[in-house]
Amino acid sequence: MFIRLSIPFVLGAVVLAGAFDPLQHAGPASPYFDAPSQIPSSTPPNCKVDQAAYILRHGARYPEPGSFGGWQNLHAKLQNATYTARGPLAFIRSWSPPVDDAPHQPLYLTSTGAGEAFALGVDLRKRYGFTKGGDNFTVWAASQQRCVDTSTYFLRGYLSQGNYLATPELNRGRSILLADSVSYTHANSLTPSAACPAYASGSTGSAKANAYRATYQARVAQRLNTFLDGLTLDAGDIGPMQDLCGFQAGINGDTRFCDIFEESEWLDYEYAHDLNYFYGSGPGNPVSAATGYPWVKAVSDIFAAGPNAPTKGGLVPPPLIMGFTHDNNLPPVVAALGLWNATLSPTTPDPSRSFRASHVVAFRSYVALERMSCTAEGTSTNDVFVRVRINRAPVAIPGCASGPGASCPLKAFLAHVEERGVASGDFVQKCALQDVKNATSVASFLTTIPDPADVQLVSL
């Protein structure tokens, strides 16, 4: 049986060693956890973050309808046979899928997801101290309900404000809702890959992941069958059973499916997800960086202007920029920044690899950019730097990590972003949208006053 760690994953610059935890190797089914890092996660001495931008996945949710169908099929197989089960499988005869409101729950946040979002709001309020009492605060969210709900619970944690039920206009939190997974917004979106026809054709993630799963799932089924008499599991049962580890832990705290599999089997499961995301939406998809770049460029322009600077679109973004979206929209940002781009072998995992799906697309995962104003020791001179965080862990930009805490000087960061724009390619060109009227390569939503119909007041 695996032991869950309740202590922080990183202390200073030292990665804590402990018992293997499957929930930190479950890819997109993992509840949020801080990713490990060799760089101290605290803000460097004599530095203060004056602007930060986060793009993050929604919190833990119930399964998608397709995945839920797989759980129902597994349940039927386990219930419609006469057999005995022992050892780690002893519970499966009485197991049922952790969904008790099937018409409603699939795709929606779980209470764990709501808690993850609220906790992030509390964390960032304490970390940055940007918003004083009485100030309004705006965030952006893709318009699917799980993203909107994540933004709402984040605002509740961040603002910790009383609830004005009779006069909701007094509530200080508001979400600007952006059309979710549509084609007509092009790059001006939190889901730009949906507006890029070439993005899907460049993806080989699913094929590589399935090919890798074929190398181990039958072997795992054969091992588990030694605990069964009268029932035979096959390779197709293993994926849903491993998915249930993370999902069920997030829904009702039940981790028995986590305990069925051995450490090596979890590492194989994790690597299949790594292949899926690296070659599907990450650096291994040749179109991915072009879909993540517009957000990176928009934030870099805001950082170049500095806090509270006027914008052409008329909307001055808050010092903390929050965008709530889906898992597949985070790896393109990693690709656009030029991070974690070492090719993954389709057959042989490298234990030292940087790209791990569990560290970038777990529930409530994020990629963040921080603009830091730092004072050199013994002087009154301020210099400005930019640092990347992925799931809290600072990540050094290749060739640009000379600043405090492996940060990048602002001027060098802006040059890096321009270079990455050339390497990533223009969104309209890369997505073959040259003949599409009003197609844009610019993410202007962060600085454009929205239509009032797209602004949702949050009752806290």
Measured distance CA(38)–CA(338) in Å, rounded: 19
Q: Quick check: 385 and 303 in contact, CB under 8 A? A: no
Kindly compute the dihedral angle of the four CA atoms of residues 403, 423, 297, 301, in this order, to the nearest 10 degrees.
60
| C-alpha pair distances (Å), 220 with each of 43, 140, 213, 228, 235 | 44, 43, 10, 13, 8
Please identify which of the residues 21, 327, 359, 416 carries the catalytic annotation.
Answer: 327
Sorted by sequence, the CB contacts under 8 Å of residue 422 that are 6+ apart come out as none
Q: Quick check: 49 and 372 in contact, CB under 8 A? A: yes
Rg (CA), the chain: 23
Q: HSE on the CB side for 57, CA within 13 Å?
A: 30
According to DSSP, residue 359 is labeled G
Please identify which of the residues 25, 58, 359, 416 carries the catalytic annotation.
Answer: 58
Task: Quickly list DSSP for 213-239.
Answer: HTTTHHHHHHHHGGGEES----HHHHH
Measured distance CA(136)–CA(335) in Å, rounded: 33
- Is 58 among the catalytic positions? yes
Active site residues: 58, 327
